[in-house]
Amino acid sequence: MAAQSSTFVMYDEELRKINQVSEKLLRESNSKVIFLVDKNGQLITSVGETAHLDTTSLASLTAGNIAATGGLAKLIGEKEFSILFHEGEKDNIHISIVGGRVILVVIFDQRSSLGLVRLRVKKASDDYGLIFEELAKKSEQEDQSGAPSAFAEITDDDIDNLFS
């Protein structure tokens, strides 16, 4: 039961590295917003003009979108469709899968182009991939070190207080 209760963990150091890659991608691709989403729909981080965007909803719908197209892919014998592109009147969304488990979303307008975004995303994907690999290794080591979890001391009262 590999999937049972495994947890995805993010640390300060890796988040900083990820944001550096995102900032660079944002600049080089001339895009508006970049965000990374876990395949289960949890927003990992976002950079750019996010102030008036509902990033939580975007994350959940993006993951739903990837899951649905992944289902379609399997039905026709493909492993997955690794890139999705939605074209709007003003803004466009480029969605791709990074390192097998994370979704990279780039929102851009006429100041950029699909070709440029694709090119820069390809380069950035390798950088993201390395960071997520490091992250996976780090979580594994933390696991095996047997150090007590930060949540080991949660009490029933703590939980009850959430609902008071």
CA dist 43 and 56 (Å) reads 6
Stretch that binds other proteins, among 77-85, 90-98, 124-132, 147-155 (CB under 8 A): 147-155
**Cα 100 to Cα 48, 109, 132, 145, distances in angstroms:** 24, 27, 10, 26
Interacting positions 69-128 with other proteins (CB under 8 A) = 70-71
CA dist 164 and 157 (Å) reads 10
Is residue 73 a contact partner of residue 36, using CB atoms and an 8 Å limit? no
Q: Which of 30, 50, 60, 82 binds other proteins (CB under 8 A)?
A: 60
CA dist 48 and 26 (Å) reads 7
Stretch that binds other proteins, among 25-33, 88-96, 112-120, 144-152 (CB under 8 A): 144-152
Distance in Å, CB of 53 to other proteins, minimum: 11
Binding footprint of other proteins, residue count (CB under 8 A) = 47
Report the chain's terminal Cα–Cα distance, integer Å. Answer: 35
Name the site residues for other proteins (rule: CB under 8 A).
Answer: 1-12, 14-16, 38-42, 44, 54, 56-57, 60-61, 64, 67-68, 70-71, 139-140, 142-143, 148-154, 158-159, 161-163
